Structure formats: C-alpha cells, structure tokens
Structure 1
C-alpha cells in the first residue's frame, strides 16, 4: 500500500510531503516555510484500507499530484514537469508490501534488497528532460519502476494505457475472476511439452539433413579411419620407435662397447668382479664377519652386471630384428599424421572422430524411424495441449458470461443503463497459440443500443469510460487486493443519484484495499474515510499547490462548498451533514 508521497519542484509544488501511514494529526507532516506541506493526516492514513478522497477547485493542482505519482511509477519523463527556476525535480513514493506481495518476486529477480517490507520508488528529473530511477536508493531502469508499479498500484482514468485500458491484461483478469488458474497452468505446461517435442523433432531433422548432405564424405571418412585403425597412444609409440631406428648404428655401437666392457674375457667388469669375489672367498674365514658386507656387495654387483649384460644382449637382438622396419614405422607414422591433418585434429583424437562419424551415419540409417517416433510424440503433445486449451476456452466462455452479467448489474445505477459490456473471446489461428491458450480476450463496450461493441478505451469516452472501469473494478474486487487503486474524476459529468451510486461503489471497493479518488462530487467525497483538499495559493511571485488533510469540521465545510459554490450557506452545511451521515 502507498504510505507516503514526497514531491520536490514539480510544476506548482516546491515541496510537498504526504504521509499516509495512519499516524496522529501532524505526526508525519513536514511544513515548509511557504505553508506547502501536509498539515496532518487524521487518525487513519491512506496506507490503511479505505476510501481516500482529494477535492479542490478546478486548476488547484489535483492533476499535478497524479502526474507526480505517475512519474514516480515510471511514466514517461517530461521536462515540463520541472518547476520554473529549479535545477531538478524528484518524486518519491513509498509502499508497504505484504509478505506474499507479487513485488517480491520482481525484486528477487533483479537482486534488489528491501528491508522491513518498505519499498521506495524514487525518480529524479533534470532540466534536459532526462531522468534517473531508484529502487530503495539502488539505481534502476524506469522499466523496472513500471513493472513494480503494476503490482503495487493502478491508476484509472488518468493513464489510459495502463490497468484495465491495456487489453493485454484482460485474459489474466478473466482467468482470475473465473478461478481458472489451475486450468491455465495446465495449458502452459502442455504448451511447454508441445514446444519441447517440436524442438526435439526439428533438431533431429536438422541433424539428419546435415548427415544426408555429407553422407558420401562420412562413408568415405569412416572407411578410411576403419582401414587405418588408429590405436590409443600409437603416435607416441611410433615416435619413440622411429627415433630409435633412425639412430640404430649409433645405438648398436654404444651397446657393443658396453657389452665388451662388461663381458670381455680379459678386462670385462664381470671377469674383474669374479676375480675379486674369489680372492675374498679365500680369506673369508680369516677375516670373519668384517668381510661379509663386502663379499655380499660383490655378489650383488656381479648379479647386476650379468643382468645388464642380458638386457643389452636382448636390446641388440631387437635391433637386429628391426634392421629393415624403419620404412614400415615411418609409413605408419606419416599415415597417422596425414589423417590427423586431413580432419584437423590430433592423432589421438582419430578414434573418437571415427566413432562420431559412424554415429552420424547410423543416424542416417535409423533416422527415418527416429523422426517418425519424434513426430508422433509431437503430435501427441499437440493433442494434449489442444485438449487442455479447449477445456480452458470452454471455462473462459462460462466465466465471461458470469462477468458480463455481473458488470451489467452495476451499469444502470451508474447512469449507463443503455450501455452494454461484453467479454469478447476470439479463437486464435494456430500460429498465434501460446502458453496462455487458444483465445484472444478483450473487454468491449457498446454505449448505445444496437451498436457493435468495441474496445473499451475507444468506444467509451469521458465520464462513461471512468464509470465503466469502476463497474468492472467493483466486479473484479476480489482480484489483487494487495494493489492500491486510484480513480481520476470517475464521477465526471454525473450528479444526484448517479454520483451517490459512484460513491457507494467506491466505498465498497475500498472495503479490502486502499482506494484514492480525485472527485468533484460531494456525494463521492462524503463517502471518504479520509479527505484531502487541494488548493492553489500565492507563494511570492508564483502560485503554489497546497494539500491539506481535513478534520471533520473542515471536511463538512469543503463538502458544503462543493454543494453551493463560492458562498457556503447554512442550507449547504445542512446538506453536507446529511450526505456525511448517510455515508
């Protein structure tokens, strides 16, 4: 709910702070040196549920207040809003949001923090017409302000493209009125299932088309890779083998030198170690345990030399066997290299490449069956969506009839007895079906008998439009009780019993929500639980708008003024008392 509105340098308002949180008189007022502030808000504020009325003579500045509020809610910035001589203007609207208010999901989506359930929307306007927006003092886009504002407050009659005037909202309003959300959710779920099934089939068809286009290449490539049959780690093994064979003579020369140094019958290491072992063996008994470590070490060294000699002999034997294999190794090595270059990959990736290409070929061979299965799944998903959509459409038709009858009952007391309200439900072409269902829904009106209903914003005009919107709002009162409502001159052009009916419906609408109405009707003003008077007064060389909360006696005088004009008579006061008492 709206709890306060602070305005700085907007047209005729230099400084104005309206606090609507239900404090005692004067508890939240900010009186500036020119007397432009709010004098006090009574024992209940507009932040509470109930009907708050703003009255004042034509041109006093009531529209400026609504323009200011609209600016804070993200409406288009206009440099003409800036007060003459000011460098910048600002408007701050503060809301108290309940625990499950829809605004929370928007704030969470934008990673914006809100403390103590207080949401502050602030907009600053510069001389060049540019504006900056803030949500709880965190920079934000004006579009975010509009999204938040749509969940917080609705202004009817002043901003024609928002609220009920936006036909895009009518489908959701009808579903909410008919309590069709479960059916609507089922349709949305079925729509996603159908779209996913169609996407899967289209993706498979695309992959198959690509494979068919490249089929000849794929078959040739798979045949080549199958014939080559690359092995894991083969490139590294071939590189080592090739390097060994390319240096074969040098390796053999080194091996032979090592073998001779170990096995030479006269000066080899093995012969020397054997001699040393025999020499120690002859004195082992005499030397005792002191020679035991040396003897053991010589035994190990002799064994190691014999093992080294065996390994060298084996290596030399392998080299002899590989004498003619360099050509074969290089042929295999370069074949792998050439194949890797051809496919722009590493040699070790050739195995995976073959598997991928083979899978694409398999998709061609089994693709028709897969496409058939996916097409059947998509068709089944379409039938499921269509069945859910038809059920929702039927329920919408029934809800629309109930809505039309309920609105029709509200029209005669509002002096719209010759008018007709109709919920138009049009079946969409399949290309226009969506997660919202099969229907286009629009609220239409006809103001004269026999005339064809048309869009509510184009057929109705002036006071008719405001009263149509009021009638619909009264019927839809149970929807979105968290959202505050503002009506701008909903009683335009009516009086007497019709104005009384307007006031009665506004009061009824305010039973479970915050409602604010700008009015020229004393019958409507008498229904208000809180009353503000807007006045235009001299302030130096300029005029300034002043807003005053009216206590009971002042409220009586204002309603009497509205009844009698400039001169307030005792008869007008008595009539005001009767209106207030009847309310």
Structure 2
C-alpha cells in the first residue's frame, strides 16, 4: 500500500507532502489544473521515464519520494533480496528519484543508491496504471497466466506442475551426466583394463616391499656369513676325536692307579675320575655346538638365484608404482579401486537404462500434471470471460467481446508454470477478430476494460495489485455508465469478508465517480504573471459536497447541485 508521496519541484508543484490512505481516493479539479502531475511524480519515484521537462522552471532538480508499506508476503521483498538491497519487512519501503535540469537521474531505495531499472521493477510489483496514455500491468501478457490461475483457484494444480517440472529436470540432468560418463568410459575402460592386468600380473601384497628389502639385505650378506660359519665349523673338526683320546688316556691312568693299590676313593683316583667326567661333558657340548653351527649354515643355504629374484621383484613393484604415480604400499588398494571402477563402468549401461526409464516416467508425470492444469485453465478462462462480459455492458463496452486464449506451447518452451500460453484478448466490434488488449483504440475504453477485468477478478478473490491507478477511466461517459464505473472502483477498494480491498487512485471528471471515494483530493492551479503553482487539498465531507456540486453544475453552484451531490454521496 502507498502511504505517502513527497513531491519537490516537479512541473508546477514546488513542495507537496501527501498522505495516502486505503480504499478509493479521487483526484478532481479543473482541466489543466495539474492532476496528471501527481501521477507523473508517482511514476518518477517508481521508475517511469523522466525527462528534464518535469523539473520546475528555475529549480536545479526535481525529486519524488513514494513511501510504501507492503505486506510481509509481498513479492517486492524477493526483488530486494535479488538486488542485494537492505530492508526490514516491518518498516516502510521508500523509493526516491531525483531528476536534474540537464536530464540526469538518480535512484534510491531506502536511501541506498541503485539504478532506475530497479525502481521500475519494484514499481511494476507495487502498482498498476490504467489511463489515457498508458496501461501498465494488464498489457503485459506475462501477467495474464498468474491472474488466471489466481482467479481459478489453481494454486494446487500449479504447484503440482512445478514439482513435476523439477522432477523432470533432475531426471534429465542425471541422464545427461550418465551419458557424458558413458562417452568418456570407452577410453577409460581400455586404460583401466590395461593397468588392472599389470597389477593382476604382479599381484602386489601388503607389506611386500619391506619384506623384500630385508630379504635382499640378508641375501647380500649371506656369502660372507657362510664363509665365517665354515671357519667356525673347521675349528670343531678333530675336536671330538682328541677329546675322546684324552678321556681314554685318563681312564687308563685311573686303572693303573687302582692296580697299583690306590684307594678308589683316594684323592688321585677321585681327581682322575673328575677330569674324565669334565672331558666327557666337553665332548657332549662340543657335539651340540657343532650341530648349532651346522644349523646356522643351513639357514644361509639359499637358492642360487634367490637374491636375483628378490631384486627383480622389487624393481618391478617400484617401477609400476612410479608409472601409476603412487607408493608401492598403495598398489594393492589401487588394484581394488581399479577393479571396482571397471565393474561400475561395465554396469553403467544398466544404470543408464534405468535412469532413462525414470526420465520417461518423470516426463509423463509432468505432461499429465501440465495437461490437467491446462484443462483447468481453459475452464477457468471460460468462467473469467463470462464474468468480464457481464461487466462490459454497464461500462458502455457492450459491443466488445472478451476471451481468455489458452494455447499449448512447444515442448521446448514448457516450464514450471506449465505448457500454456495464456493471453487476454478482446474484439471491440462485432465481426472484428480477437486481438491483444493493446489493440483497443481509445485509452478510455482500455481503462474501462481494465476496470471490468479487475472487477471480475476481484469478485472471485483473484490476485489484485495493492495499488491501482485509473486516469480518467470515465472519459466520454456520464450518467449511468459513470455511476457503473464509480461502483466498480468502490467495489475494488472495499474490504469485505475479511478480505482487504485494493488501494485505488482515480483521476476523474465524473461526479458519480468522485462521490464513491473515501478520500478526495482537489487539485487547483493559481499564480500570477510570473509564477504558476499547483496545489492539492484534502477535502472534508462538506468540501467534498461542494466540489461534487461544482462538477455537476459548473462554475455557478446551485442548491439543486448541492442536493444532487449529497444524493450521490449517500447512494
């Protein structure tokens, strides 16, 4: 909702601060008083084209500031997010534009500098203009589809189509990714197969490099170790025979001593026995030592080419590791990885086949949801056309015909909103072909038609803009038609059944329209030979009666005109 408009040095307005309320506000005044300046200033603040002619004569620049209070759910907040502009949803939204006398323009949103294009985008989301010279909103065919969906209550069907579209897009992306993988896989299969065959041929084992390195070191030292063992073995040669001779000699000495009469337990015989026993132990331990030396020699008794084989194995392992760019320890794991990747590629055909089946199912689901939405749109379009046609006759557009064209789009142009082109079309005369709304000849007719369409949309709770501006929608009509215009404007701006009505500004010369307003601004022009100014007055109830009486009677206001004005206001 627009809550304030500040104008500085725009054409004939030097300084003006307006507060804008809800409902219907009428702008009246003599022709040429400057009613359009108010709209020009609002357009300037909301991104409309501005030229140096808007700057008041003698001023350095013109400035217009529009203050809005959008609802928390209003789409304008998403635009601010997209543009990276700061805001708070519980605060007002301030759009400001300055225009210098040399034609240079600057734009601001909440005092943040931005481009005029941003103001224009925000303005298109915040208001609609229907007038003699332009209609902003309904002439843009992009608005027709959401308006029809809102009128038909098709939010559920539209959401289902959007969800099906996302599913179709995701399935398509998956198939495209798998197909790209398949295109790369042919070369990859050849490479993986070759590398895996090398790994299979070598059959690398965990910790093998460490074991081979140790074995090579031992084998390299084995020859010298065997020579040393052989020398030790030679030291034992003959030791057993000499020890046995020594034992026998001691036994003979003991026998002679005993024969000579030495006591068996005497010191000589005892010591000879002890010496023989000691030599016997030496003989036994020498045998054990000799066996141990033989065992040690056997431990170093390798195959003749064992060292060569170990070195070749190490060379092969390290060579393949360098080729693959990994450490030897990583070869077993790489072998498992290559095998798994090869299996995955080989099974990709089945995966791709399944993904293509999913894509076909997703496409069918989208097509079904979109077809259901198309059918519902056609039905809603017929209902909307009937409702608009019912509004046309009271607005002196009884010869016009209206329809909602719902036409299929090419498949490549379908999207999350469905596969329909929705357009509001009109034929202004019997037998004339249907055409775009812009084909309507006069601006007054177009404004009245926009009013009829908005009235029909509002009757079913269709999405209405929070601010609608009608500029001389009553041009060329009077009496009952003007009253019908006023009634529909009032209906658009009314809050009923808990539903907030639209905020409507209407520039009018019709007393029937002005009488329906909840707020009334009178625009007047005054000045002297050197200077002319436009002023805006917010009228009280009594002042409204006087102004409507003037509109009825002209310059000479009569009591009868005042009575007629009261009757219109009370109707």
What CA distance in whole angstroms lies between the structure 1 residues aligned with 2:181 and 2:388?
55
3-state SS of 1:476 partner: helix
Which of 105, 117, 121 is residue 95 of structure 2 equivalent to? 121
Q: Is the 8 A contact 2:321 2:327 kept in 1?
A: no
Answering whether residue 525 of structure 2 is matched by residue 552 of structure 1, we say no
- Which residue pairs with 2:510 in the alignment? 521
Work out whether 1:81 is the aligned partner of 2:54: yes
> Does residue 333 in structure 1 map to residue 318 in structure 2?
yes
Task: Please list every run of at least 4 consecutive aligned residues from structure 1 whose deviation after the TM superposition is greater than 6 angstroms.
Answer: 230-235, 321-324, 345-353
Report the CA distance shift for 1:234/1:430 in structure 2 as closer, same or farther (over 3 A). Answer: farther
- 2:465 equivalent to 1:492: no
Q: 1:407 aligns with which of 388, 398, 409?
A: 388
Shift of 1:564: 3.7
Secondary structure at the counterpart of residue 217 of structure 1: helix
Indicate the structure (1 or 2) with the bigger Cα radius of gyration. Answer: 2
User: Residue 368 of structure 2 aligns with which residue?
Assistant: 387
Alignment partner of 1:69 out of 38, 42, 54:
42
| Alpha-carbon separation, structure 1, partners of 2:101 and 2:339 | 68
* Native 8 Å contact 1:526 1:580 kept in 2: yes
For the residues of structure 2 that align with 1:195 and 1:359, how far apart are their CA atoms?
30
Matched, 1:19 2:8: no
TM-score, normalised via structure 1 length = 0.74
Secondary structure, aligned partner of 1:392: helix
CA contact (8 A) 1:178 1:396 kept: yes
Distance, in Å, in 2 between the alignment partners of 1:184 and 1:83 is 49
Whole-angstrom CA distance in 2 between matches of 1:232 and 1:7:
84
SS in 2 for 1:562: helix
The runs of 5 or more residues in structure 2 that have no matched partner are 225-295, 496-500
Within 5 A, what are the aligned runs for 1:341-490? 358=339, 361-477=342-458, 478-480=461-463, 483-490=466-473
Q: Which has the higher mean CA deviation after the structures are superposed, 542-551 or 470-479? A: 542-551
Q: CA deviation at 1:170?
A: 0.8
Whether contact under 8 Å (2:387, 2:456) holds in the other structure is yes
Query: How many Å separate the matches in 2 of 1:105 and 1:566?
Result: 50
* Change in 2 beyond 3 A, CA 1:363/1:53: same
| Structure 1 residues 525 and 439: alpha-carbon distance in aligned structure 2, compared to 1, 3 A threshold | same
Alpha-carbon deviations, 1:131-164, whole Å to 9, x = none?
A: 3333322344444434443443322236846321
Which residues in structure 2 correspond to 1:131-150 (within 5 Å)?
A: 131-150=105-124
> C-alpha separation between the residues in 1 aligned to 2:481 and 2:348?
72
Question: How many residues of Structure 1 are paired with residues of Structure 2 in the alignment?
Answer: 485
**Residue of structure 2 aligned with 1:534, choices 518, 523, 537:** 523
Q: 1:114·1:136 contact (CA, 8 Å) conserved in 2?
A: no
Secondary structure of 1:164's partner? Answer: coil
Closer, same or farther: CA 541–380 of 1 in aligned 2, 3 Å:
same
Say yes or no: does 1:543 pair with 2:536: no
Say whether 1:92 aligns with 2:47. Answer: no
Change (3 A) 1:9 1:228: farther
C-alpha distance 221-3 of structure 1, shift in aligned 2 (>3 A): same
Change (3 A) 1:498 1:223: same
Q: Deviations over 1:374-413 (max 9, x none)?
A: 1111111111111111211111111111111111111111
Cα deviations by residue, 1:402-439 (Å, 9 ceiling, x for unpaired): 11111111111100111111111111221221111121
1:540–1:207 Cα change, 3 Å = farther
Residue 30 of structure 1 is matched in structure 2 by none
Q: Distance in 2 between matches of 1:125 and 1:9?
A: 10
1:96 and 1:118 in contact (8 A); partners too? yes
What is the aligned counterpart of 1:173 among 137, 140, 147? 147
Aligned to 2:232: none
3-state SS, counterpart of residue 437 of structure 1: coil
Deviation at 1:528, TM superposition (A): 1.4
Taking the aligned partners of 2:13 and 2:330, their CA distance within structure 1 comes to: 75
Are residues 347 and 196 of structure 1, via their aligned partners in 2, closer, same or farther at CA, if it must alter by over 3 Å?
farther
**Whole-Å Cα distance in 1 between the matches of residues 551 and 327 of structure 2?**
90
The secondary structure found in structure 1 opposite 2:164 is helix
From the superposition, tell whether residues 549 and 229 of structure 1 become closer, same or farther in structure 2 (CA, over 3 Å).
Answer: farther
Once residues 70 and 172 of structure 2 are traced to their aligned partners in structure 1, the CA distance between those partners, rounded to angstroms, is 41
Contact 2:133 2:443 in 1 (8 A): no
Given the superposition, is the C-alpha separation of residues 460 and 218 from structure 1 closer, same or farther in structure 2, using an over 3 Å criterion? farther
Q: Secondary structure at the match of 1:15?
A: strand
Contact kept in structure 1, 2:392 and 2:398, CA below 8 Å: yes
**Cα 1:356–1:535, aligned 2, differ >3 Å: closer, same or farther?**
farther
- Summarize the Cα distance change of 1:363–1:549 in structure 2 as closer, same or farther, 3 Å threshold: same
